Amino acid sequence: MKNAFKLFSILFLLFSKLLGQENVQLDDNDLINKVERYILEEKQDSAQYFLQKITIDTGYISILKKLATDKNPDYKALRDFIVSVTNTADVDYYKISRFINKNVKQPDVQDKINRDYTKIKTEQITQLRNDGDLDKSTVENEKLTKYINSFDQNERDVALASANASFHKAVMAFIQRDLEQVKEILDNAIAVAEKYNDTELKIGAQYYLSNVYVVEGKLQEYIEINEENLKLERESSSESAYYSATVINLLDAYIYIGGKDERVQELLNVLYNHPQSRKDSYALYAKYLGTLPTDSPYKRQIFEKFNVKNTKEFAELTVARTKDVLNSNDYYFVLIENSGALEKDNFLKEAIRFQEEAVEVNRKVYSQDLSKSLAAFQTEQAVKIKDIEIQNEKKRTRIYVIAAILGGLLLVVSLFFLLKTRQQSKKLKEKNKIIDEALKEKELLVKEIHHRVKNNFQIVSSLLELQSKGIEDKKAQQLANDGKNRVKSMALIHQRLYQNDSGLISFDSYIRELVKEISAMYQTESGVKTTIKADDAYFDVDTAIPLGLIINELITNAYKYAFAKADSPELNIILKQNQNDYSLTIKDNGGGMSPDFDFARAKSLGLRLVKRLTKQLQGYVIIESLEGTLFNISFKDTSQRKMVD
């Protein structure tokens, strides 16, 4: 009995000791986080105080002690510290960026480049760019490139640093869809990586190159290059910064093509079990669930993993876990993917709720900020240009008056003002350079807004699609479908406008695309013979949108009513430019209008929309019903309407 009691006492003491060590370890982790934050905030005294309470002694603790006491720490210590705090989920990166700008000074140019410095700046540039701050990331990249270019480019470390810095230029070229320049930059980086056997550089270059394959529609090449990157990661002694992103790329691809369930499950587990990427796995789990049948064994495995019974419980759980952890853009994708999964399993009410919340998140993040930013930018540029014009006009006037008074009598004074004029011209060139740079920034902002408008069109179309599925009334469902068609016609105009730098839309190419969209929705047994003649006309958005909606309504009506009884359906669309206006004719060979039809008293939403939009274009409609129906619409473009006003 005594021996049993002694054994129990010994086990109890051992258990208590182990439990105490675990608590110490947890306390040390909390203390390390506190010290990191105090160093970021440059509260060195507080950092030193909490460092004394840490019981463990590791290489990283030595780095923290150095940063808390040394006013000029080495670049290696700074980089290890910055990497650690960057991987902490609840640290605002802008605080880290401010710390870098204040404490990581550019080294003096010596015989050898400082690789720790270039890595710190390259990682800062990447993080700023990923957070959407293109201006700051570009400024920092220009500074870094200037530093790198001060060394011999044939040196190994210089070539590697230059190749890493070139990723920013590749991303900016990708944003502007200059894919050839992107390939040239990345192919050069891959060549440098292979020459010097730098695995992480090769992984990074191939990661960005995979984005080009997406745009080019090369799905197999996209999968192969990401699988190669994952293989390089496994062979490497340390994990690169692109590891989680590579896994995410492969998951997106395999979920899209389907039939790769075992591989998808494997990659999802990799992402979920990774401490830095678990929060990113939830949207992909939801996306995958949205592709699986309700009775899929893979779906049941996921439910068991998360201890939920169905998609509804899974969505509620993952949204709750990510709401306060992810940034707004990533949280948006958690909502939108869960909405799709809920719709798949017929949880329509919950699907609509998540879709609406996603729209609200998207609106808050982009619409207000981008509108304010663009308005402020345009106002600032207008003021700058006006000030420059006023100053230049004043200076020119002063020079002309003085030259006229003095003339040739004061040669010395004339030479003085000639010199002054040259100096002013130099300043004017510098100011014009500033304006050119500002215009480039404006182009980036406008492209970003076009991208968000496109997203909003897609969201509206998705909402209409989602809500129409629950409608049983055929008339209401038809109204919803008509609404989707109108949204598509406006989205087509926006797409054409975005692809054309002139701000004008080719009527011919637009109308062909619109007819193609509508014919796909209302297929007839014999097909419709379509003739389009547009006289090479181009319109701006103020004319193209109402005109596109008019054409959408009339063509849709032809497919719905006129071609239902026609043996050989024909559709003719002719646009002619007259001296003072345009004439648009849309004719079908259907059964024609009823003899007692009165366009002025038409009650259908589509024809009332045609009537109102024609009036907006300062035009009128003539209808004839001979061997089908003919709509002749006379209208004015924007410049013609302004002349009338």
Distance CA 497, CA 37 (A): 48
Q: What residues does 506 pair with on adjacent strands? A: 538
Judged by average pLDDT, the poorest of 168-172, 405-409, 527-531 is: 405-409
Q: What is the mean pLDDT of the chain?
A: 80
The mean per-residue pLDDT over the stretch 172-178 comes to 88
- Predicted TM-score (pTM) above 0.75: no
Please, are residues 225 and 214 in contact by the beta-carbon 8 Å criterion? no
Comparison of pLDDT for 464 and 313, the residue scoring more: 313
- Torsion on CA atoms 498, 502, 507, 512, rounded to nearest 10: -40
- Torsion on CA atoms 122, 123, 128, 134, rounded to nearest 10: 30
The amino acid present at 585, given as its one-letter code, is T
User: 632 is written with which tokens?
Assistant: 């002749």
Backbone angles phi, psi at 106, to 5 degrees: -65, 130
Q: What is the pLDDT of residue 474?
A: 60
Among candidate residues 135, 121, 222, the one with its CA nearest the CA of residue 164: 121
Distance CA 614, CA 345 (A): 45
Q: What is the pLDDT of residue 384?
A: 47
Distance CA 560, CA 562 (A): 6
User: 550 is written with which tokens?
Assistant: 């008019």
Q: What is the pLDDT of residue 469?
A: 60
pLDDT in tens, 394-445: 677 677 677 778 767 777 777 777 777 777 777 777 777 777 665 666 555 5
Please, are residues 522 and 571 in contact by the beta-carbon 8 Å criterion? no
Q: Cα dihedral sign for 548, 553, 556, 561?
A: negative
User: 433 is written with which tokens?
Assistant: 């350079």
- Residue 1's alpha-carbon distances to 11, 12, 15, in angstroms, are 16, 17, 21
Comparison of pLDDT for 230 and 413, the residue scoring more: 230
**Which percentage of the chain shows pLDDT scores above 70?**
78
The mean per-residue pLDDT over the stretch 309-317 comes to 92
3-state secondary structure of 539: strand
Contacts of 390 (CB under 8 A, 6+ apart): none
If phi > 0 it is left, if psi is from -120 to 50 it is alpha, else beta; for residue 393 that is: alpha
Distance CA 66, CA 81 (A): 11
Q: What is the pLDDT of residue 93?
A: 80
Q: What is the pLDDT of residue 442?
A: 54
| Residue the block writes with tokens 């030259």 | 403
The mean per-residue pLDDT over the stretch 34-41 comes to 86
On the question of pLDDT at 459 being above 50, the answer is yes
Contacts of 543 (CB under 8 A, 6+ apart): 617, 635, 637, 638
3-state secondary structure of 111: coil
Comparison of pLDDT for 255 and 506, the residue scoring more: 255
Angle between helix 348-362 and helix 311-322 axes, rounded to 10 deg: 20
Distance CA 240, CA 252 (A): 20
Comparison of pLDDT for 505 and 573, the residue scoring more: 573
pLDDT in tens, 241-264: 888 889 999 999 999 898 889 999
| Residue the block writes with tokens 């993040």 | 365
Q: What is the pLDDT of residue 483?
A: 61
Please, are residues 321 and 328 in contact by the beta-carbon 8 Å criterion? no
The mean per-residue pLDDT over the stretch 534-553 comes to 84
Q: What residues does 533 pair with on adjacent strands? A: 574
On the question of pLDDT at 508 being above 70, the answer is yes
| Residue the block writes with tokens 């040259």 | 422
Q: What is the pLDDT of residue 370?
A: 46
- Residue 156's alpha-carbon distances to 10, 28, 123, 161, in angstroms, are 60, 40, 20, 9
Distance CA 279, CA 73 (A): 33
On the question of pLDDT at 145 being above 90, the answer is yes
Q: What is the pLDDT of residue 488?
A: 59
Distance CA 466, CA 452 (A): 21
Instruction: Parse the chain into domains and list their residue ranges.
Output: 1-91, 265-346, 358-470, 502-645
pLDDT in tens, 551-596: 888 888 888 877 776 778 888 999 998 888 999 999 988 878 877 7
The amino acid present at 412, given as its one-letter code, is V
* Domain 502-645: which CATH number of 3.40.640.10, 3.40.50.300, 3.40.50.2000, 3.30.565.10: 3.30.565.10
On the question of pLDDT at 332 being above 50, the answer is yes
On the question of pLDDT at 15 being above 90, the answer is no
User: 119 is written with which tokens?
Assistant: 């890595």
| Residue the block writes with tokens 């463990």 | 56
Please compute Rg for the chain using Cα positions.
Answer: 33
Please, are residues 496 and 545 in contact by the beta-carbon 8 Å criterion? no
Band of residue 240 on the pLDDT scale cut at 50, 70, 90: confident
Please, are residues 524 and 569 in contact by the beta-carbon 8 Å criterion? yes
Distance CA 59, CA 468 (A): 61
Please, are residues 327 and 365 in contact by the beta-carbon 8 Å criterion? no
Distance CA 285, CA 302 (A): 8
Judged by average pLDDT, the poorest of 322-336, 428-442, 491-505 is: 491-505
Q: Cα dihedral sign for 242, 247, 252, 256?
A: positive
CB half-sphere exposure, 511, CA atoms < 13 A: 28
Distance CA 228, CA 240 (A): 14
Q: What is the pLDDT of residue 460?
A: 54
Distance CA 508, CA 575 (A): 9
The mean per-residue pLDDT over the stretch 599-611 comes to 81
Q: What is the pLDDT of residue 391?
A: 67
If phi > 0 it is left, if psi is from -120 to 50 it is alpha, else beta; for residue 618 that is: left
- Residue 396's alpha-carbon distances to 208, 503, 545, 626, in angstroms, are 51, 35, 45, 69
3-state secondary structure of 530: strand
Most confident of 26-30, 79-83, 127-131: 79-83
3-state secondary structure of 90: coil
| Residue the block writes with tokens 């068991």 | 304
User: 208 is written with which tokens?
Assistant: 């960005």
